[in-house]
Every structure is written in structure tokens, then in C-alpha cells.
Structure 1
């Protein structure tokens, strides 16, 4: 306990360190005071007096004592907010007394260090974040995007994806946000695909043709996966946007079913056929082949594509295409062989795109299925595999 005379001696000392101790003690005493109101008023008056101290150290000691308390006097905190930079930054970052109205008027004039201090506040409102992003400072924008608890508007997130989507750091921060609109997420996936296509390390690892197939397959999977998540939310805006932009084609429909994104597939058919979503789900789950063909005809699909998709739906009912690579491989192989037999090896023009897709997937899925079989065999095998003896004359020399 510091006696009153000792406190007076400290507060009037020519040594800034001692005056700073007195300022800090005054702040703590004010915040923890439980006595008469006149004592509280005297403590408040002493805080006001320390605001006029010529030493930054003293005013900083006062700020340090009040900084983290929601009970700190607003006039004192506002005065410290406009003090020297080192004090102002601390107040901006830590004081819970400040509200949006105190900060919004400062956003347009603050420099980057001050804005960074606001970015690190415990809570930042969406309104405040939007105002700081409007400053068009890359580092500020990136820091705010990484704070996924700040609810930014869909419009703002779309604008950032469009204008800053070329920047890999921003892409990563946006894609990590669960509130990113589906169309903006798809746009960023396209930017990622373009970036990978141009990366030297990627181009050097795969032949151009194979790289194109891998990236196209990944982009189709992303498109369907985003659509599946939107379908769970029962939001039709994403699929409507795809239909308007002519992004739904035979390949996308086939890929959605083959990869197990059946809810996205159903939403696509409902949008194309302008049919109730529940009715489309019922037909896909238990409808007859003629009923499926009728639905697909309403979608504007040609006869050959209709028949192929109807077969695929029937196969999908009996297989787990979402998680079982072997089941996918079986279905794709069966469809490919049926097309070859049905058309005597001469695939019609309307099915060329679908046949090319099935052929690509056959290779990819065969590899995945083989890896699964070999790993399962290796874990279950109890004895070494018996291999035939090799004629020494046929052995290849070491490289």
C-alpha cells in the first residue's frame, strides 16, 4: 500500500520514471476502487492530470494501466487514442472501450501500422473490416481475410476474388473461408488451375497432354464438389449460374455421378428440366428407365446421352461411387464396353465427348483401384509371394 503523501511525492517528482509509477498506480486504484464516490472522483481527477504530463513514459504508464479494462473512463481512453504513436497503437489494438463509431472516422487517415493494430483487436466487426479493406492495402486485406470469424459480405468476397484472385496469398485466404460464395470459389479454382498450368515445376513433371487431363479432371471435381455443398444447403443459385453461363455439359453430368456428387447431379437436372427438386430426387432414387429418359429429355439432352446417363444412374443405385474407387472403375468399364458393343466400335458424334471422358476415367480409376488392391493384399498376406525363377541369361544388367 502506498501512502497518500508518498503518492503525492511520486506524482510531483522530476523523475519521469517515478511519475509513471504514480500514473500506473492511479489507473489501477481507479479500476479497483470500491470506496466513497468522492474518492473515485479524486482518482479520476488524478488520471486527467497525468494526461498533461510532458513525458511519453508517464502517459504510456497511464495507458498501460487502463488498456485492457472495459471500465476505463472513455474520455481518458479517447485522449490517449490521439496521443503519440506508440500509445495510440496500443489503445487501438487492446482497449475494449472503443467502439466502431470511434474508429470508423479514423480509418481513412490512419497509416498502415495503425490499421494493423486495429486488425489485431479481439473483435472486429464486418463494417469495420470492410472499411479497412476499402483502403486497398494488400497486407491489411490479407490479415482480415485470414480472420475467418469476421463475417464479410458475399459482395465483398466476390469482389476480392475477382480483383485479387491472381495473388496466391489472397487465393489461399479466401479458399480457407467457409463463407466464400460458391461462384467466387469456382472462380478461384479456375485461377489455381491456370497457375498450376503455368508453373515450371508442374509443367516439367507431366507431359502437356497428361497435365491437361489431370487439371481438367481436377477442375470438374472441384465444380461438382462445390455444387454438392451448395445442394446440401438447398441453394439453387450456384447451379442456376452454371446453366446460364453454359457450364453444364455431358462431361460435367457424367463426372458428377461417377465421383458420387449425386445431389449436385440432381440439382443440375432439376434446373435444366425446370422440375421440382423433390420429384427429380425421387426419380433418380427409384424411377424406371423410361421415367429417367423422360426426365433427361426435358433437360434437352440427345437420345444417346440420355440412354448413357440413364444406365449410369441405374449402376449408381447399386454401387458406392462416392468412396469406392473399385466400384467406380467397374461402372466406367461396363459403360465403355456397352458403348463399344452397342455401336460396333463406331461411336456416334453425339457420344464422342462422353466416350472420351469414360476412356480417361478408365485409366485413372484403374490406377486407383490397383493401388487399393495391392495395399489390401500387402496387409493381409501372411507369406512371401511366390515368383517364378528368372533365367540368369534374361536378367537385365544394372543401369
Structure 2
């Protein structure tokens, strides 16, 4: 226990170290005081007096004694928030006494160091977080996006994606957000595609047509995968955005079916045909060929594409296309054979794009299905000869 007389000696000392001890003691005493009101008032006055101390050490000792308390004197903490940088940064980062209105004032001041400190506060409101992201500073956006505890509106996340989609660091921070809306995520995928396509090392290593095919297939996979997740969450905006931008093509619908993205496929059909989602699922699960043709017709697909999609749905009912690569390969190969047989090898122009896509998928899926086959076979039959023995047999000469 430190007596009042000893406290007076420390606070009146010419040594800043001792005055700092006094300031810290006064702060602890104020926060823990449970006595008479006049004592509390005296401690409050003592704290305010330390604000005029010329030594940064003393004012810092005062600030650190009150820093994390939600019972610290608010006027005192506001004054310390405008003190020397070593003090003000600590107060702004940790003091719970600062309100959003106080932080907004600091944001308007535009001090870069203080803005970065605000992003590190233990608790940050959505209002303050949005104010920081709207300053046009990519570093602040990255810091705010890294705060998973802050819920950001979809519109603001989309705006950040459009503003900073070309910045790889901000783009990565946006991709890490689990609440990033599907439209923003697909937009960022397009940004990645453009960035990769423009790299000299990529253009020099991959033939242009193959690179374009790879990028197109990757974007189709991203669109259907994102759409599947959004459909699972009950979010219909993603499909509506794709439809408004004329991005729901026969190729994309085929890709969704081939890779088992049934939720996205059904959502797209429901939106294009203006048919209830439940009815679409019923038709996909057990509807007749005529019913499927009618559904696809309401979506605006050509007769040839309608016939192809109906066949694909029929095959998909009997195979696990979501997880079984071999099943995907079998179904795609079967579709190609059926199309060639039906049209006697002369594929109509309306199916050129779809047929080209099926051929691309046939090659890609064959590669995937073939991986690991020989090692697995070797494990099962390690001693089996790979090539037959062609040693010529001895023959007796003719008599």
C-alpha cells in the first residue's frame, strides 16, 4: 500500500521515472477505487494534472495504466489520443472509451499511421470499417478484409472487387472472405484470367489456342462451382446476374451437368424458364423426355441443344457425375458417339460449340481417369509381364 504522502513525493519528484510511477499508481487507484466520492474526485483531478507533465514517459505511464479499461475518464482518454504518437497510437488501438464518432474524426484527419492503428482495434464496427475501405487505400482494404469478425455488405464487397480487382494483394484478401458474394468472386476470377493471360512466362510456355481453351474451361468450372455454392445457400442473385449478362450458354449448362453441379443447373433453368425451382427438380429427377424438351424450350435453347441436354440429363440420372471422374468420361464419350451416329458424322452448325466442348472434356477427362491406373495395376499384379514373350521356338529342319 502506498500512502498519500509517498504518492505526493513521487509526483513532485524531478525524476520523470518517479513521476511516471506516480501517474501509473494514480491510474490504478482510480480504476480500483470503491471509497468516498471526494477521494474519487481527488484521484480524478490527479490524473488530469498529469496531462500537463512535460515528459512523454509520464504521460505514457498514465495512458498505459488506463489503456484497456472501460471505466477510464473519457475526457482524459480523448486528450491522450491527441498526444505524442507513441501514446496516441496505443490509445486509439486499445481504449474502449473511444466511440465510433471519435474514430470517424480521426479518419477524417487522414493520418496514415492512425488509420492503420484503427484497423487493429479489438472491436471494430461496420460503420468505421466501411469508412476505412472507402478511403481508396489498398493497404487499409487488406487490413479490414482480414477481419473475419466484421460483416461487410455485399454491395461494398462488390465495389471493392471492381475497384481493386487488378491488385493481386487486395484480390487475395477478397478471395479469403467467406462472405464474398458469388458475383464478386466470379469477377475476380476473370481478373485472374486476364492477369495470367498477359504474363509473358505463361504466353511463352503455352500455345495460344491451348491457353485460351484452358482459361475458358477454368472459368466455366469457377462459374459453375460458385453457382453451386450460391444455390446451396439459397442465393438467387448469382444466376440472375449471369442471365442478365447473357452468360448462361449451352456450353456452361453442359459443363454444369458434366461436373455434377445440379443445384446451379436447376437454378439456371428455373430462372430462364420462370418455373418454380421445386418443379424443375421434379422434372430433372424423373420427368419424361417431352417434359424436359418443353422446359428447355422455355429457356430459349435451340431444338438441337434441347435434345443434347435432355440426353445428358437422362445419362446423369444413372451416374454419380459429382465425384466419379470415370463416370463423367463414360457419359461424355457416350454422348459423342450418339451425336456422331445420329447425324451420320455431319454435326449441325447449331451444335458446333457444344460438340467442340464435349471433345475438349473427353480428352481432359480421359487424362484424369487414366492417372494412377498403371501404378494401381502394378500394385495388384507386380509380377505379371507387361509384354508377351516373343522368343522364337526352335523348329526341326525339314527331312
Report TM bin, short chain: over 0.9
Q: Is the 8 A contact 1:250 1:354 kept in 2?
A: yes
When residues 94 and 366 of structure 1 are mapped into structure 2, their CA distance, relative to the original with a 3 A threshold, is: same
Unpaired runs of 5+ residues, structure 2, are: 391-399
Paired with 2:290 and 2:91, the residues of 1 have a C-alpha distance of 71
Instruction: State whether residues 305 and 351 of structure 1, in contact with CA within 8 Å, keep that contact through their aligned partners in structure 2.
Output: yes
CA distance in 1, matches of 2:161, 2:343: 46
Contact 1:231–1:264 at 8 Å: present in 2 too? yes
Match of residue 299 from structure 1: 299
**Residue 256 of structure 2 corresponds to residue 256 of structure 1:** yes
Whole-Å separation in 2 of the counterparts to 1:105 and 1:81? 11
CA RMSD of aligned residues (A): 1.8
Equivalent residues in 2 for 1:8-27, closer than 5 Å:
8-27=8-27
Q: Is the 8 A contact 1:133 1:140 kept in 2?
A: yes
Q: Distance in 2 between matches of 1:177 and 1:32?
A: 42
Q: Distance in 2 between matches of 1:389 and 1:283?
A: 53
Unaligned runs of 5+ in 1: 392-399
- Distance in 2 (alpha carbons) for counterparts of 1:330 and 1:374: 19
Q: How does 1:69-108 map to 2 (within 5 A)?
A: 69-108=69-108
The whole-number CA distance in structure 2 between the counterparts of 1:390 and 1:26 is 97
Instruction: Indicate the larger mover: 45-54 or 323-332.
Output: 45-54
Q: Aligned partners of 1:41, 1:183: CA distance in 2, in Å?
A: 58
CA distance in 2, matches of 1:139, 1:72: 32
* Equivalent position of 2:382 in the other structure: 383
Q: Deviations over 1:76-130 (max 9, x none)?
A: 1111112122211110001111110211122111311010110100111111011
TM-score, normalised with respect to structure 1? 0.94
Aligned to 1:148: 148
How far did 1:375 drift?
Answer: 5.2
CA 1:287–1:376 in structure 2 vs 1: closer, same or farther (change >3 Å)? farther
Q: Which residue of 1 aligns with 2:208?
A: 208
8 Å contact 1:257–1:316 — kept in the other structure?
A: yes
Corresponding residue for 1:277?
Answer: 277
Map 1:185-264; keep pairs closer than 5 Å: 185-264=185-264
Rounded to whole Å, the distance in 1 between the matches of 2:337 and 2:24 is 83
**TM-score when normalising by structure 2:** 0.94
Q: 1:277 to 1:217 in 2, by over 3 A?
A: same
Partner of 1:122: 122
**1:334 corresponds to which residue?**
334
Residue number in structure 2 paired with 1:397: none
Partners of 1:374 and 1:34 lie apart in 2 by 80
Go from structure 1 to structure 2 and tell me whether the alpha carbon gap of 1:262 and 1:234 turns closer, same or farther (over 3 Å shift): same
In structure 2, what is the Cα distance between the partners aligned to 1:196 and 1:215?
9
Cα pair 1:108 1:135 within 8 Å, conserved: no
Q: Which residue of 2 aligns with 1:173?
A: 173
Which moved further from structure 2: 138-147 or 310-319?
138-147
Q: Summarize deviations over 1:286-327 as a string: whole Å, max 9, x none.
A: 111111111111111111111110111111111111111111
**1:312 matched residue in structure 2:** 312
1:222 shift after superposition = 0.6
SS at match of 2:109: coil
Structure 1 residues 74, 329: closer, same or farther in 2, change over 3 A?
A: same
State the match for 2:48 in structure 1: 48
Deviation at 1:285, TM superposition (A): 0.9
